[in-house]
Amino acid sequence: MTLIELLVSVVVIGAIATVLAAAVTVTFRQQDSTEARLEVARWEQGLALWLPGDLTSATNVSAAEGEQPCGDPICSFGSNALLLSWDDGSGPTVVSYRYGPAEYGTTFVLTRVECHAGSCSSQVVLRDLAPPTDDAGNLIPWNPGDKVPDNVIDVTVPLLVTETSPGGSTDTTSRAQRVIVNVNGAPGNGGQNYSSTVSFTAGGSALGELEPATFSGPTFLQANSGCGGPVTLIVDDSGSIGGQIDNVRTGVRSFVQAFEGTPTRLQIIRFDTTSSTLGTTGWNKFYDLAEPSDVSALIGPTGTGGLVSSLSAGGGTNWEDALHRAFYSQNGQTYDQLGNPNAPTPELVVFFTDGVPTFDRLYASTDTSSVGPASTPSRFDHTTAGNSGYGTDFSPRGWYRADYILDQFRDIRTIGVGVGAAFSQSHGVNRSGWPAEPPYSWAWWTVPTQIPNEVFLGDLTSGGDPSQYPGGASGNYIKRQYSSSGGWGDVSTADLLVTSQWSQFGSALTEIALAECGGTLTVQTRNQAGQPADADITYQVGDKVVTTTRISKAGTFDIPLSGVASATVELIPQSFDGTGYTPQSWACRARGSDLPQGGSWQLLQAGSPGAGISVTVAADQAVSCTLSVSP
């Protein structure tokens, strides 16, 4: 039906648009669903992206079920619910909203098919529509081309202007062109009803402008994930590691793979008598684990090589020098004082060692800045008689100076990982005279006080004092010890993970990484050269959204699992209009491996990557999915 006589010009968000002045009312009713609240927000947003703009542009409208925008198979899906057409000077555009059966299950969908300049594309904009039923609610046969059920989609074609204006009115029309979307959810627990109605206004009257807020869809929250940020892994590769260095390398690679694809920046500091940073001769280097080339640099393309292979056992054990590098710049400034975005203060520090310190920075250091305590309490002074010397025995002063550094940064979470036979042993603290500070004890004077090695590491990361160790207990720190029957348990609040089994080192690091990023879904948009797309692309999961940009290349959703092992969610790009890109393909990974399409993820609409994907996210995975786009 041609409605040229009904055209008026109005201002629509700052642009002049020629629109239908009468009212086109379209009502959609969703099938009952126990997830109605999420569906309401999800599919209202899908409609808000398309319907207002289409109606604003349209000069012709038809609700005839047999209408098709083209002769291609893509245009013959289901039946036409609403067909709109216009010509913007670059050629005719025809859009058909088509009702038809979903690919899976018994529900129906609404698909938007757009044809312009000889090319057609389609996208599902509304899911979980009710199937056709009779008056009694019984399912009835339905075929493409049949009438769209009025109880599902109701389209009101506008009348002439003279019939829509009240008698005697000089208005061109009594109201703006309007689409009313009714999404009726099923009752939830306790009989709550989650139905909702949202109005989209596209068009206007001769008497005023439309407010931009009229075009607003439902509110979506920016997703804020706890996954991501700067992480420093400190790795002991001293001589006592010996033949277990392969287990160390494998464990470090597992740590990288657990974070792979997430917005985590990882720095690896290795230490023996002194410390250095993996991958540089300079002081710091963080690797972006959302960047495939950085992951490959650390662990190699197959996860078995890379810079981690350079870890080699040798030298002493200098806890202080490693921690100094983690928290201070080379000139002794904190990283906050330095203000260099390439050298951030870590938000998490993981400190792995196979034994107690045997050196400190007063004896050996890669930096001569004077950061450190002005003096050492006598009970931590290793220079007195009765000790075998640096490098061959426990250094109480080395422990105290390392602890002094951490005491300046107790707001940053530091977790210790102790591995090997040393953590089933103890060390004596020898004194040749009365200690100058309490607690006064004969044990500190003439008898070596035997303190378990794990207490030294646990007290370091938790802020305790091993000189106050009461004996017979495991100290004032939260410890997790590997159990063959239950793994590591909850490590999210632990100060220390400890095991005598080197084969469990990798699982310890993986558990720490998953405590940060397990049960998350990260999305990126990359061009076909593998570079971040130079456009802002917004993605939606439930009522949360993230936006990827050329700079902020990754966005992460925390998936609520509510005590279950996994959950399947829908990851949906909101719109590519104006971006200059066309969706091409998806790929997903977790823990260093590709996830198979059709298994862990699948397209929501076959042949249409722009419609989004469904993804299964497990608690023991940080899933990352990348949408490849082309200009």
**Is residue 427 within 8 Å of 356, Cβ to Cβ?**
yes
pLDDT in tens, 51-62: 777 877 777 888
pLDDT in tens, 373-382: 766 666 665 5
Least trusted range by pLDDT, from 105-109, 500-504, 600-604:
105-109
Strand partners for 547? 538
Question: What is the identity of the amino acid at 552?
Answer: S
Within a 13 Å sphere around the CA of 234, how many CA atoms are in the beta-carbon half? Answer: 29
Nearest to 51 by CA among 35, 27, 22: 27
pLDDT in tens, 191-224: 333 333 344 444 333 333 434 444 444 445 666 7
* Per-residue pLDDT band at 35 (split at 50, 70, 90): very low
pLDDT at 72: 83
CA angle 183, 547, 124 (to 5 degrees): 40
pLDDT in tens, 527-569: 999 999 999 999 999 888 999 998 889 999 999 988 889 999 9
Q: Which CATH architecture has domain 229-517?
A: 3-Layer(aba) Sandwich (3.40)
pLDDT at 392: 57
Helix ranges, 383-452 (H) = 396-407
**Is residue 120 within 8 Å of 76, Cβ to Cβ?**
no
Q: Read off the pLDDT of each residue in 399-412 and give the average, rounded to a whole number.
A: 93
Structure tokens at 112: 């938007």
The class of domain 520-630 in CATH terms is: mainly beta
The Cα–Cα gap between 22 and 162 comes to 10
pLDDT at 378: 61
Q: Does position 328 have pLDDT exceeding 70, yes or no?
A: yes
The Cα–Cα gap between 298 and 287 comes to 8
Structure tokens at 621: 């995975």
Out of 69-73, 259-263, 470-474, the most confident range is 259-263
Q: Does position 65 have pLDDT exceeding 60, yes or no?
A: yes
Nearest to 27 by CA among 150, 163, 192: 150
Strand order in the sheet with 119-129: 60-62, 79-87, 92-101, 108-116, 119-129
Q: Does position 123 have pLDDT exceeding 70, yes or no?
A: yes
Through-space distance between the first and last CA atoms of the chain, rounded to whole angstroms: 36
pLDDT in tens, 471-494: 666 567 899 988 877 788 889 999
In the chain, what's the furthest Cα-to-Cα distance?
Answer: 109
Torsion sign over Cα 444, 450, 452, 457? positive
pTM: 0.66
The Cα–Cα gap between 84 and 571 comes to 28
Burial degree of 434 (CB within 10 A; 0-12, 13-18, 19+): exposed
Domains of the chain: which residue ranges? 4-219, 229-517, 520-630
